[in-house]
């Protein structure tokens, strides 16, 4: 599990709760079953209507993907590819078969198998690029679904507040209860804004940051495989691959510090940008 992401979510929620207590409120005041039902149920219904059940079902796995620790280690991959390049130059590409069987990464192993089988370099690059896109596409669709939820949640909160105020204004006989009733009515707005900006949008941005980081590492692997196939000098192979760490997001986004940097960049657009992208992303879900 990515402790940085989990700590971020916990810190955000804790800041809201502590600020509420500092203002003289009580945690029990933030509990309102009817408001939570309207906001979360309404958001789920609107998101289902927009994205469809098939795409909404991708969200749980994508959330787990967002919160897990990075599974790709660029440095170890570089060392492995440099070692394979040395072996290929000494003993030939066919000697890599045993090494391929010991690889933990199926993507790396599949690309190396193409090279061992003597596939055309252009075909190898095309197939591997298609595999990269296919591997990450469903996570991006799930991120779009979460962005859709982040757009609807505040609106559902406003709807809940309007309904609460209608109820309050229809029962003005007892003015002593007017203040507490209005406060309860505004709980729906709180739920809507808080869920959008503490859950749905941050999760969507983290998924996109992870996808971007993994995609860069995958492309680094493709470059390494093609260099091995060409018989490049191992020192040249290392220089090529380390350039991904220096200038790309592959090396930055897969380490603990880099994951935060990638998330910060993805989140810089804010809620407004996420809502603006939502229609385009969901419209392209079936493409």
* C-alpha–C-alpha distance, residues 237 and 241, integer Å: 6
What per-residue confidence (pLDDT) applies to 257?
Answer: 35
What per-residue confidence (pLDDT) applies to 246?
Answer: 67
Task: Please give the full DSSP string across 186-216, using - where no structure is assigned.
Answer: THHHHHHHHHIIIIIHHHHHHHHHHHHHHHH
* Burial of residue 221, with CB atoms counted within 10 A of its CB: 0-12 exposed, 13-18 middle, 19 or more buried: buried
Answer whether 204's CB lies under 8 Å from 143's CB: yes
Domain ranges of the chain: 32-283
For residue 52, is pLDDT > 90?
yes
The candidate with the shortest Cα–Cα distance to 68, out of 5, 9, 134, is 5
What per-residue confidence (pLDDT) applies to 203?
Answer: 94
* pTM for the full predicted model: 0.76
- Mean per-residue pLDDT, 92-110: 90
Query: What's the distance, Cα to Cα, between the start and end of the chain in Å?
Result: 32
Q: Output DSSP code: residue 175.
A: G
Q: Between these two residues, 180 and 123, which has the higher pLDDT value?
A: 123
Torsion region of 138: left, alpha or beta (phi above 0 gives left; psi -120 to 50 gives alpha): alpha
Q: What percent of the chain has pLDDT over 70?
A: 85
pLDDT range class, residue 247, cuts 50, 70, 90: low
For residue 233, is pLDDT > 80?
yes
* C-alpha–C-alpha distance, residues 224 and 232, integer Å: 10
CA dihedral 65, 66, 67, 73 (to 10 degrees): 70
Q: Between these two residues, 21 and 72, which has the higher pLDDT value?
A: 21
For residue 193, is pLDDT > 90?
yes
* C-alpha–C-alpha distance, residues 270 and 272, integer Å: 6
To the nearest 5 percent, what fractions of the chain are helix, strand and coil?
A: 85, 0, 15
Query: String of b and e for 174-208 (b: at least 16 CB within 10 Å)?
Result: eeeeeeebeebbbbbbbbbbbbbbbbbbbbbbbbb
Answer whether 214's CB lies under 8 Å from 108's CB: no
* C-alpha–C-alpha distance, residues 250 and 218, integer Å: 8
For residue 154, is pLDDT > 90?
yes
**Among all chains, which residue has been given the structure tokens 């909404």?**
56
**Among all chains, which residue has been given the structure tokens 């700590």?**
7
Handedness of CA 265, 269, 274, 279 (dihedral sign): negative
What does the block give as tokens for 262? Answer: 């990638």
- Mean per-residue pLDDT, 234-242: 91
């Amino acid at each position: 599990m990515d402790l940085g992401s989990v700590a971020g979510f916990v810190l955000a929620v804790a800041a809201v709760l502590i600020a509420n207590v500092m203002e003289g409120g009580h945690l029990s005041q933030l509990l309102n079953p009817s408001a939570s039902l309207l906001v979360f149920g309404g958001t789920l219904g609107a998101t289902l209507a927009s994205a469809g059940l098939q795409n909404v079902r991708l969200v749980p796995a994508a959330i787990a993907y967002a919160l897990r620790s990075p599974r790709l280690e660029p440095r170890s991959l570089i060392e492995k590819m440099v070692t394979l390049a040395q072996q290929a130059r000494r003993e030939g590409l066919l000697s890599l078969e045993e090494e391929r069987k010991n690889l933990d990464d199926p993507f790396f192993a599949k690309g190396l198998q193409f090279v061992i089988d003597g596939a055309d370099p252009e075909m190898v690059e095309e197939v591997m690029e298609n595999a990269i896109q296919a591997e990450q596409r469903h996570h991006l669709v799930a991120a779009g679904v979460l962005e859709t939820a982040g757009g609807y949640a505040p609106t559902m909160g406003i709807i809940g507040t309007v309904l609460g105020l209608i109820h309050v204004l229809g029962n003005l006989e007892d003015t002593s209860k007017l203040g507490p009733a209005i406060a309860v009515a505004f709980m729906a707005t709180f739920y809507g804004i808080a869920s959008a900006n503490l859950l749905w949008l941050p999760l969507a941005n983290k998924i996109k940051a992870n996808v971007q980081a993994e995609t860069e590492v995958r492309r680094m692997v493709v470059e390494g495989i093609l260099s091995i196939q060409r018989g490049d000098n191992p020192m040249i192979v290392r220089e090529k691959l380390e350039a991904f760490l220096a200038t790309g997001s592959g090396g930055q986004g897969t380490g603990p510090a880099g994951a935060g940097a990638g998330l910060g960049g993805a989140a810089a657009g804010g809620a407004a940008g996420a809502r603006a992208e939502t229609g385009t992303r969901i419209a392209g879900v079936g493409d």
